[in-house]
């Protein structure tokens, strides 16, 4: 950093495994309804680590330096003249993807599918690991006084969980099996429970993760190392947890082929399957089981209208708790260490405090 007084320290990915903290100009409001936010806390996501390690995710390729981070909460410091609800000093969770609002998907109320989405820390758009960030007012969700900025940073992955549970149409009394006990799987389980699911079974192959899941939101856990055969595992899950003809809903938050196969066998006839985890581009799965059981299969991508708000409401009401998922935190200057730790797979959610000066 050149000068002693820093304007907008930003954590920048220049190329694979090449990051620097640079002072960038404070972003300016581009529209009358924009707000300027001082970022308080940012959580690291698997996607941030993936860009840091590989410089790309699918067709999104890093071609120029980009600020990382997209899971943030902070404080409004300036509002544009057309802002109606927010004021300087308000604490907010930052919804990091701003859609075009004009394309057929936006107009149909599915803005997460927007063809012209500007999403933080997805090339070429800068992320939120900086001192300041600009968003339209309606993409900032106010945090009530009893919800901290740390919890506010976890609204992003929680909103992913909310969207998955809405895609699955979880109803009171449903039985749900969630594959993958990482941050998103855990949050899906918590939201499913808040929606009235009576059994929420989590499946993973890492025993400590399952043990944590049981203390968090799962009503039962199953270690998939039990068998290499997805059919055997599915039958065992149904038997152990008394799921009758099978689970009403199976959700994969792992992206792993064995989990996806087991999930399709664990769903009851007429049940629902949702793919929430990203993994290999292509896998083989039992399509005949899907056909003969008339399973409804859906994808789930980020979050759409109302998901961020519901995530904050669930936290505010105490229906979902996220504090337990925070396993460590780093100073902004040490952000790269946070990435190293996340890569090692230690902990669940790692937070980085916003720059202090
Ligand atoms: Zn994320
Ligand atoms: Zn659009």
Q: CATH code at 253? A: 3.40.50.720
Position with higher pLDDT, 113 vs 342: 113
Does residue 124 contact residue 63 with C-beta atoms inside 8 Å? yes
- Ion ligand 2 neighbours, Cβ < 5 Å: 99-100, 103, 106, 114
Cis upstream peptide for 32 (omega within 30°) = no
| pLDDT tops 70 at residue 333 | yes
Split at pLDDT 50, 70, 90, the class of 2 is very low
Residue 252 domain-assigned (yes or no): yes
Cα distance between residue 20 and residue 12, in whole Å: 5
Q: Give whole-number Cα distances, 120 to 67, 112, 283, in Å.
A: 8, 13, 29
Split at pLDDT 50, 70, 90, the class of 4 is low
Sign for the pseudo-dihedral over CA of 110, 111, 112, 117: positive
Predicted local distance difference test score (pLDDT) of residue 357 = 72
Which bound ligand lies closest to the C-alpha atom of 119? 1
User: Number of folded domains in the chain?
Assistant: 2
Does residue 43 sit in the same domain as residue 91?
A: yes
For the chain, the average pLDDT equals 95
Predicted local distance difference test score (pLDDT) of residue 1 = 42
Cα distance between residue 336 and residue 348, in whole Å: 17
Burial class (CB in 10 A: 0-12, 13-18, 19+), 31: exposed
Does residue 133 sit in the same domain as residue 13?
A: yes
Predicted local distance difference test score (pLDDT) of residue 241 = 98
Which bound ligand lies closest to the C-alpha atom of 71? 1
Q: How far is the CA of 36 from the centre of ligand 1 (A)?
A: 21
Split at pLDDT 50, 70, 90, the class of 5 is low
- Average pLDDT score over residue span 46-61: 90
Cα distance between residue 248 and residue 347, in whole Å: 31
Does residue 22 sit in the same domain as residue 125?
A: yes
Residue 62 domain-assigned (yes or no): yes
Cα distance between residue 342 and residue 276, in whole Å: 20
Q: How far is the CA of 133 from the centre of ligand 2 (A)?
A: 21
Which bound ligand lies closest to the C-alpha atom of 98? 2
Q: How far is the CA of 33 from the centre of ligand 1 (A)?
A: 25
Other beta carbons less than 10 A from residue 230's beta carbon: 22
Q: How far is the CA of 48 from the centre of ligand 1 (A)?
A: 8
Indicate the range of 13-17, 136-140, 344-348 predicted with least confidence: 344-348
- Average pLDDT score over residue span 54-59: 89
Q: Give whole-number Cα distances, 81 to 38, 76, 86, 211, 277, in Å.
A: 18, 14, 11, 51, 40
Contacts of 250 (CB under 8 A, 6+ apart): 176, 177, 178, 179, 263, 264, 266, 267, 271, 272, 273, 274
Other beta carbons less than 10 A from residue 117's beta carbon: 18
CATH number of domain containing 115 = 3.90.180.10
- Average pLDDT score over residue span 47-71: 93
- Average pLDDT score over residue span 265-283: 93
Residue 160 domain-assigned (yes or no): no
Position with higher pLDDT, 149 vs 278: 149
Q: What is the largest CA-CA distance in the chain?
A: 68
Which bound ligand lies closest to the C-alpha atom of 111? 2
Q: How far is the CA of 103 from the centre of ligand 2 (A)?
A: 4
Q: How far is the CA of 157 from the centre of ligand 1 (A)?
A: 6
**For residue 271, which phi and psi values (nearest 5 degrees)?**
-85, -175
Does residue 16 sit in the same domain as residue 66?
A: yes
Q: How far is the CA of 9 from the centre of ligand 2 (A)?
A: 31
Does residue 109 sit in the same domain as residue 239?
A: no
Measuring CA to CA, which residue among 162, 169, 166, 95 is closest to residue 322? 162
- Average pLDDT score over residue span 68-82: 98
Q: How far is the CA of 23 from the centre of ligand 2 (A)?
A: 32
Split at pLDDT 50, 70, 90, the class of 280 is confident
Give tens-digit pLDDT for 240-258. 999 999 999 999 999 999 9
Residue 312 domain-assigned (yes or no): no
- Average pLDDT score over residue span 142-148: 98
Does residue 206 sit in the same domain as residue 115?
A: no
Q: How far is the CA of 102 from the centre of ligand 2 (A)?
A: 5
Measuring CA to CA, which residue among 166, 208, 157 is closest to residue 186? 157
Give tens-digit pLDDT for 168-214. 999 999 999 999 999 999 999 999 999 999 999 999 999 999 999 99
- Average pLDDT score over residue span 116-120: 96
Q: How far is the CA of 90 from the centre of ligand 1 (A)?
A: 23
Q: How far is the CA of 211 from the centre of ligand 2 (A)?
A: 41
Does residue 211 contact residue 184 with C-beta atoms inside 8 Å? no
Give the domain extent around 134.
Answer: 9-154+322-353
Sign for the pseudo-dihedral over CA of 326, 176, 209, 276: negative
Chain length of the chain = 357
Which bound ligand lies closest to the C-alpha atom of 47? 1
Does residue 190 sit in the same domain as residue 87?
A: no
């Amino acid at each position: 950093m050149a000068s002693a007084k820093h304007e907008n320290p930003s954590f920048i990915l220049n190329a694979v495994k090449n990051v620097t903290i640079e002072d960038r100009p404070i972003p300016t409001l581009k529209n009358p309804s924009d707000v300027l936010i001082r970022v308080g806390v940012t959580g690291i996501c698997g996607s941030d680590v993936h860009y840091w390690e590989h410089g790309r995710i699918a067709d999104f390729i890093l071609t120029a330096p980009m600020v990382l981070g997209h899971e943030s909460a902070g404080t409004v410091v300036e509002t544009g003249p057309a802002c109606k609800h927010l004021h300087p000093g308000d604490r907010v969770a930052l919804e990091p993807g701003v859609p075009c609002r004009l394309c057929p998907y936006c107009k149909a109320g599915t803005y997460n599918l927007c063809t012209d989405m500007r999403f933080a820390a997805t090339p070429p758009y800068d992320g939120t690991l900086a001192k300041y960030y600009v968003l339209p007012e309606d993409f900032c969700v106010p945090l009530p006084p009893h919800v901290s900025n740390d919890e506010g940073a976890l609204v992003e992955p929680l909103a992913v969980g909310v969207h998955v549970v809405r895609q699955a149409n979880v109803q009171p009394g449903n039985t749900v099996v969630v594959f993958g006990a990482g941050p998103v799987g855990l949050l899906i389980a918590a939201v499913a429970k808040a929606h009235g699911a009576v059994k929420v079974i989590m499946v993973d192959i890492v025993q400590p993760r399952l043990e944590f899941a049981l203390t968090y939101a799962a009503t039962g856990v199953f270690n998939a190392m039990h068998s290499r055969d997805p059919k055997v595992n599915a039958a065992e899950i149904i038997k152990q947890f008394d799921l009758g003809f099978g689970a009403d809903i199976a959700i994969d938050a792992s992206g792993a082929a064995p989990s996806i196969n087991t999930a399709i066998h664990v769903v009851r006839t007429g049940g629902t399957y949702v793919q929430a985890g990203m993994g290999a581009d292509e896998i083989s799965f039992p399509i005949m089981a899907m056909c003969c059981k008339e399973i409804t299969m859906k994808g789930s991508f980020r979050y759409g209208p109302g998901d961020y708000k519901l995530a904050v409401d669930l936290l505010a009401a105490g229906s979902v708790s996220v504090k337990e998922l925070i396993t460590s935190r780093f100073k902004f200057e040490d952000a790269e260490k946070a990435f190293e730790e996340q890569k090692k797979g230690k902990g669940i959610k790692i937070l980085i405090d916003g720059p202090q000066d």
